[in-house]
């Protein structure tokens, strides 16, 4: 197989990278584009550690190939900070004690972000459903769900 040029938007920047189209997206993001927030856990689409946002949907980057994101809009955790400031979800995860070892956190936050982009005022059941593909070995989930709800409330206060 020969390399091709893949062009897409990564965290609001146009990027073009020469790579093999069958390279896994998680590897492309980490190795070629420096997005080290994207974590690999199970490598088979089960744990959610490698979650990113693709065209407004949370997807697992270990089950996608570079050739599938031509022209797409990709967001990783690196793209959520603005001017060096943590986004609301990052703040509430820290404040709620929703981060322990932190390995699941980027994927959790991106699944939550994808939910809030679609529905800024989700109920607890919707939050739980949106994060059901993200596993955490440390926190027991309650603090994570609370952090997402707190972020939604805080964003709503800022909008009002
Ligand atoms: S590493 Fe991709 S879902 Fe587990
Ligand atoms: S904080 Fe350790 S796996 Fe979630």
Length of the chain: 160
pLDDT at 123: 97
Residues of the chain with CATH 1.10.150.120: 88-159
Selected residue with higher pLDDT from 129 and 160: 129
| Single pTM value for the model | 0.97
What DSSP string runs through 40-69?
Answer: -SSSSSSS-TTEEEETTEEEEGGG-BGGG-
- Any ligand 1 atom below 6 A from CB of 135: no
Residues of the chain with CATH 3.10.20.30: 4-79
Average pLDDT over the chain reads 97
* Residue % of the chain over a pLDDT of 90: 95
Average pLDDT over residues 28-36: 98
3-state DSSP assignment of residue 130 = helix
Kindly give the pairing relationship between strand 4-10 and strand 73-75: parallel
Q: How far is the CA of 158 from the centre of ligand 1 (A)?
A: 34
Ligand 1 pocket mutation pick from 30, 39, 49, 76 by most atoms within 8 angstroms of CB: 49
Q: Give buried/exposed letters for 71-92 (b at 16+ CB in 10 A, else e).
A: eeebbbbbbbeeeeeebbbbeb
Ligand nearest to the CA of 59: 1
For residue 46, pLDDT over 90 is answered with yes
Q: What is the pLDDT of residues 47-63, one digit of tens each?
A: 999 999 999 999 999 99
- Atom number, ligand 1, closest to the C-alpha of residue 48: 3
Average pLDDT over residues 89-96: 97
For the domain made up of 4-79, the CATH class stated in words is alpha beta
Nearest residue to 28 (alpha-carbon basis) of 56, 7, 45: 7
pLDDT at 83: 85
CATH placement of domain 88-159 = 1.10.150.120
What whole-number distance in Å separates Cα of residue 138 and Cα of residue 124? 20
- Any ligand 1 atom below 6 A from CB of 41: yes
């Amino acid at each position: 197989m020969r390399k091709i040029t893949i062009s897409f938007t990564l965290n609001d920047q146009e990027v073009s990278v020469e790579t093999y189209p069958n390279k896994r997206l998680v590897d492309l993001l980490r190795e070629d584009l420096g997005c080290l927030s994207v974590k690999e856990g199970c490598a088979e689409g089960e744990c959610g550690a490698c979650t990113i946002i693709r065209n407004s949907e949370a997807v697992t980057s270990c089950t996608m190939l570079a050739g599938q994101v031509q022209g797409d809009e990709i967001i990783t955790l690196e793209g959520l900070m603005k001017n060096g400031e943590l986004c609301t979800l990052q703040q509430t995860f820290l404040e709620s004690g929703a981060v322990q070892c932190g390995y699941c956190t980027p994927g959790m936050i991106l699944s939550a972000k994808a939910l809030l982009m679609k529905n800024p005022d989700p109920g607890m059941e919707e939050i739980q459903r949106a994060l059901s593909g993200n596993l955490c070995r440390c926190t027991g989930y309650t603090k994570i769900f609370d952090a997402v709800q707190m972020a939604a409330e805080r964003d709503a206060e800022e909008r009002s």
